[in-house]
A and B are shown apart, each in its own frame.
Chain A
Amino acid sequence: MRKDVVLLVGGAQGSGLETTMQVLAPAYASLGYGVLANREYFSNIVGRHSYIHIRVSSSGEARPLYYPADFLGAMDAETVFTHWDDIGEGAFLLYDLGTARMRLQQIASMEPDLRSRLMQQYREAGIEPFTVEKVVEYLEREKRVRVIGLSFTALFDVLIKKHGLSRAQAQRFRSSILIGAIAGLTSLDREALDLGLQRRFGSRPKVLEINRDFIASVADEVEKEYGAQLKLEPAEPKSGEYVVASGNDVVAMGKVVGGVRYQAYYPITPASDESVLLEEFEGLKIDGESLGSIAILQTEDEIAAVSSVIGAALTGARASTATSGPGFSLMVEALGWAGKNDVPMVITYYQRGGPSTGLPTRGSQSDLLFSLFASHGEFPRIILSSGDHLEAFYDAIEAYNLAERFQMPVIHLLDKFLANMVASVPFPDWKAIKIDRGKTLFKAPTGPFKRFPRDQPLADRPVLGSGAITWYTGDENDEYGHIDEDPVNRLVMYERRWKKMEIADREIPEDFRVKYYGDEDAEVLLVGWGSVKIPALEAIERLREMGVNAAYLHLRMLSPLPKRRVSEVLSRFDADRVIAVEANYLGQASKIVTMETGFMFRKYILKWTGRPVYLHELVEGVLDIVRNGRDKVVLSYGK
């Protein structure tokens, strides 16, 4: 029995991979296992290679992904060709016998770069001709991979006969073959599996029934033939109930709890799923009763989205938008207006691979400096970045609180990795959740109101319609919000805005903004932010087992950076033992730390391939720096 199992399932985009994840993740979670699943895909709707990488952990926690995988389920030949070296000694490979004769050269959807790289590797390994069969033989022979060759056609024939389906209809059950095999190999409890199926197909009883039947037959056969070789130890659940959801989903849920009343967006990957989900819940209905309503607007562009969000925020509604790099680029001018006018507005920013449209469906952490410096002039803003799903949930709520309390825009940074990863998230702790509306006034004295009193950085904020009359302008303003270019007024108003930042820095607890994980007397310190937290936390455990006592410093608030605390931690480490770990080229967070604390980083582990930082490569990277004295390790694992 195993503590963890790592599964890889691949196929053409649109061929049912998502289903595999949607069925398996709740199924394992219902048994108390921790699940983390990442989805990798091209910017394409149907046809390009896509895959899901899942780790199921008996620890009960959603734990980081690593390679090699224990199981590769291939829906098509391209998956076998592509992922042949992603599985380890003795792993299982399931493939369609019908693809055995396919040649690498025939895979039109494969990018030429990968194809030629694979040819080179196959040649070196003595795999010729480049057929699925030869690759499979090689794996069996050289890596003792256990091969489950199934004739998909024969399986579909049975389906066709039994349920009177057409061939095209039967082929839609392709993902069931993979689900069945995984269920068999891991001896997945059938009731749990059924729960997963109910969730996915509950609304379509006929489809549910066929799936159930088909999956059970594949599972039984695989279990009988190969044994439950990937069976997991019983789980140690970390929660009596899990929320099984993607990063997009948990942020939408956090917004609902946080009281979102207005969200505007323009479609962009990987952000729009969040708004689409919110739209589904716009009525906030429970048993027919409504708790309120969320106005959600799909706008003509991102400029309109953010501008309308600012307008909504002025009326007192908790208002936000969700976007990615290209969209945020368009929002920048309005961001400055919000910063200038003390507007509590939230931008949820899912970073993806740039520059330009770069890698539209892949992840990165390369927009931190952009979000910190975006827009002209100088004005305060809060930048919050979540490290995992649970943090993302709490941060979605806290973003509104901080925005209203400190009267400035909040940028909530996430990345595509988190956005698209599905995790079993422990049920949140409601005791930790508070709504803080700061000095927002819904009823105010009538007549012209000094919205911007010179001696009060955080002033009362009567909303539009509260009774007060207020003015706002993008120009420098007087206490009422009217244009005022007087140099002394300018001096005072400019400073007034920045004083809010000082107050925020003083009042937001440091232990919320930065967190240290590991032994106090660790000798190596990893410094990271965002979803780097996921691999980093387990990396320090593994490193300790290998004799390297490492700790992790997680930066959750990048503006205002808790510089006193960060400096204090950094000062305890030899500079050669401090490693910035980031999914970008420049080490952007390290630059901010240097700017704020003066600490000069010397060691970097960086990745910018658009794929997540995997646990195994992070551990290797740290060892390379610690043992071999390397200054910079560039990670590149993943297809």
Chain B
Amino acid sequence: MASYRTEVWSDWCPGCGDFGILAAMQKAFAELNLDPAQTVVVSGIGCSSKTPHFINVNGVHTIHGRGIAFATGIKLANPQLKVIVNGGDGDLLGIGVAHFVALGRRNLDVTVLIHNNKVYGLTKGQASPTLRRGEKVKSLPVPNLQDAVNPIALAIASGYTFVARAYSLWVDHLKEILKAAINHKGSAVIDVLQPCVTYNDIYTAEFYKDRLYKLEDDPSWDPIVRDPSEDEEKKAAAIKKAEEWGTRIPVGVFYVNPLKDTYEERLAQRNPSYSIDNPPALQPISREDGSPIVGPDEFRKIFKRFIVNVKKL
């Protein structure tokens, strides 16, 4: 089995929740036996976005908020690749929220991990989009005046077809959800509650300890859409569940719809030349002698409506 660790030292603060996410990823990759060369971990910018350097698969550490956008091009150009995005809640739901929503609309087969610590870690603890109104974490001089976005509800409303929440210190639980997310065909998102030990003195391990419960422990909870007619109801139930945030906080899978077609499938349907077996990235574009495969004759045929033959007078 391949090793999914690199030699690179993880420079997160000791005790940071990101370690748990990293461990869960490495374990999940190993258990799924992912081919490191065919796997790409893409990230934005933030403490959490350093993740690709610590995993022994292809890593693309991009710019703030744009991990999903980079991943979209990677996946569409070569849908054979497994693509996993990591970012902070600031990265994915603040600056990158347009891409977050767009990925759901497309249902492209990509998995997104939100390192949700409710602060901007790497820029020293400012309020992130998931921090609730009135809360004042350690480095805020004044309480936060903006309302929080609910990542689960936003993901469902955007069209993600696998939506889950996990806790970074429950590594094995997260690992199992991650495996399911990667195996899911379509856009998957896991909102990972991740204690930032340095800047977040509200959402600490202590805070989560007595509140978290697993959805799967409730036998009546069934997040899976098994027939299109159930979709609306399951979404509504999941959003309602996602609003539960107090003495009890659910983690687990909120919503899964395996029935909706992915963007790759939609594209292939509209354009039968687009196929996963013959991805655009791997198609030949030139002949042996370096001439383009679209030669003058092909050009004339493709663009015939632009070509005018001069009449011999």
Contact = CB atoms under 8 A, between A and B. Distances in A.
A469 B36 contact: yes
- Pick from A239, A281, A434, A465 the residue with the most CB of B within 10 Å: A465
A473 interface: yes
B63 A257 contact: no
A467 B273 contact: no
B37 A446 contact: yes
A242 B300 CA distance: 11
Contacts of A313: 73
Interface in B47-74: 50, 52-53, 56-63, 66, 69-74
A370 interface: no
Interface string A264-299: 100000000000000001111111001111110101
B263 to A, nearest CB: 9
B59 A315 contact: no
Contacts of B72: 297, 299, 304, 307-308, 311
Contact of B53 (A295, A310, A482): A482
Contact of B77 (A249, A259, A315, A334): A315
Contact of A471 (B59, B273, B274): B59
Interface residues of A, number: 92
A504 interface: no
Nearest to A32: B310
Interface string B95-117: 00011011000000000000000
A304 to B, nearest CB: 4
B247 interface: no
A31 interface: yes
From B59, B70, B102, residue with most partner A Cβ within 10 Å: B70
B80 A465 contact: yes
B286 A259 contact: yes
A307 B62 contact: yes
B269 to A, nearest CB: 12
A427 interface: yes
A333 B45 CA distance: 13
Contact of B62 (A243, A337, A446): A337
Interface residues of B, number: 71
A481 B40 CA distance: 14
Interface stretch (B129-137, B140-148, B159-167, B275-283): B275-283
Interface string A418-438: 000000100110100111110
A286 B302 contact: yes
Interface string A547-576: 000000000000000000000000000000
A472 to B, nearest CB: 5
A427 B296 contact: yes
Interface in A136-195: 189, 191-192, 195
A29 B296 CA distance: 19
Interface stretch (A5-13, A225-233, A316-324): A316-324
Interface string A428-456: 10100111110000100010100000000
B40 A464 contact: yes
B99 A304 contact: yes
Contacts of A295: 76-77, 267, 274, 280
Nearest to A27: B308
B13 interface: no
B229 interface: no
Interface string B285-313: 11000111111101101110111111101
A196 to B, nearest CB: 9
Contacts of A32: 310-311, 313
A483 B99 contact: no
B274 A435 contact: no
B308 A448 contact: no
Contact of B98 (A259, A287, A300, A468): A300
B139 interface: no
B307 A242 contact: yes
Contacts, number: 269
Contacts of B283: 261, 292-293
Given A311-B71, A483-B53, A244 B37 contact: no
A253 interface: yes
Nearest to B81: A465
B70 A310 contact: yes
B306 to A, nearest CB: 5
A252 to B, nearest CB: 9
A607 to B, nearest CB: 30
B80 A434 contact: no
Contacts of B1: none
A15 interface: no
B38 interface: yes
Interface string B246-290: 000000000000000000000100011111001111111110001
B281 A317 contact: yes
B273 A483 contact: no
Contact of B302 (A31, A264, A284, A465): A284
Given A195-B308, A300-B98, A316-B282, A433 B292 contact: yes
A56 B102 CA distance: 47
Contacts of B293: 259, 291-292
A308 B76 contact: yes
Contacts of A437: 286
A304 B280 contact: no
Contacts of A474: 45, 61-63
A240 interface: yes
A300 B104 CA distance: 12
Q: Which of A239, A258, A473 has the most CB of B within 10 A?
A: A473
Contacts of A435: 285-286, 290-292
A433 B274 contact: no
Contacts of A475: 61
A466 interface: yes
A12 to B, nearest CB: 27
B127 to A, nearest CB: 23
A292 B281 contact: no
A290 B77 contact: no
A243 B52 CA distance: 48
A363 B235 CA distance: 49
A510 interface: no
A36 B305 CA distance: 18
Interface string A215-244: 000000000000000000010010111111
12 contacts: A30-B309, A31-B310, A191-B311, A199-B305, A253-B299, A262-B280, A282-B271, A295-B77, A303-B66, A316-B282, A472-B60, A472-B62
Given A304-B69, A313-B73, 18 more contacts: A31-B313, A32-B311, A243-B303, A244-B308, A258-B292, A261-B77, A282-B273, A293-B274, A316-B281, A337-B62, A446-B37, A464-B74, A465-B281, A465-B282, A466-B37, A473-B53, A473-B61, A474-B45
The 8 closest A-B pairs by CB, nearest first: A259-B285, A311-B73, A308-B73, A307-B69, A435-B286, A261-B280, A312-B77, A293-B273
